[in-house]
Amino acid sequence: MSISYTTTPKEDGFRMPGEHDAHKEIWMAWPERSDNWRLGGKPAQQVFVNVAKAIAEVTPVTMAVTAAQYDNARTMLPENIRVIEMATDDSWMRDIAPSYVVNDKGERRGVDWEFNAWGGLVDGLYFPWNRDDQVARKICEIHRDGHYRAPIVLEGGSIHVDGEGTLYTTEECLLHESRNPDLSREEIEKVLGDYLNIEKVIWIPRGLYNDETNGHVDNLIHVVRPGEVILSWCDDENDPQYEISQEAYKILSEATDARGRKLKIHKMQIPGPLYIREDEAGGIDACDGMERAAGERLAGSYANFLITNKRIILPLLDPACDDAAKALLEDVYPGYEVVGVDAREILLGGGNIHCITQQVPAV
């Protein structure tokens, strides 16, 4: 059974592990929103299939699919990928699935954050979002994992942890007026400490340029291992990303983590810059919240990769930069296999491979 706990993970001796630890499962959700995914989501669906296949070779994958798309998804996905009917509002599993915590006894529980579609009525990307807000609890029910309902609005992509007490996030997102305006930075840190059992928060000022999530940290950095991070980098002083990356580098290079380590920082060049093309914008239904017009700058980043069970699924975004990104990851992750998947269709929807996946840790 899936117990709903009224205590906190910290009280109960649970902590959030790093993404480099072993995974039991990866969850994804099927894209079909026609005001976000072009041509009714058909091009994106094929890319989600490609990502799921690349993951499933090393980690079991479950795809959450609405009733209307169940037959289509089941036909498109190979038999080794589990397809479960589940109502969602869109397909950003990183942000709507539980953040899992584990203890030293081999137990696992989920943290179910409040979700408001990246900004609620202030600057959220769509309305309603109630079905997305139910997903975390449903996943815990399916795995028969106990869960906690955390008392703040938070998306999984807005945090990175190292598994040893350090959490990375951006001020732009977690301190945004559309998330938890009644809470101070210190009060937010307290909740993060209670629900993820982290000891230190490293605050980076801003996320990637033009990221419509209010600057999620997972589009800017990735934690390689404790004491080591990858940072999205830009050498062009005329690019608005240049100043953001410089600012982040200064913060990270002056920081120490929860164990007192200075950070090793790997600079990973961003692709592009990349923009929405006329033909791409033409296939997207009009909506209030999301900017999908031709010429809109895309928040492209190679840091938005998934690491699972000794394999990295890397978004391929720009033929001029893809090979360098792959080479950097192969250097930083010796013994890991780096698999690239053409991911422009995911980027057009507003995120990338890390954003559409969420891991369930092995215990």
Q: What is the DSSP string of 15-30?
A: BPPPTTS-EEEEEEE-
Residues 6+ apart with CB under 8 A from 135: 29, 64, 86, 88, 93, 96, 97
Note if 355 is an active site residue: yes
* 337 vs 307: CA distance, rounded Å: 10
Cα end-to-end span (Å), the chain? 17
Nearest to 85 by CA among 12, 130, 142, 33: 142
Which residue among the candidates 140, 173, 234, 355 is catalytic per the annotation? 355
| CA 84 to mean position of chain CA atoms | 21
* DSSP code at position 142: H
Residues designated catalytic: 355
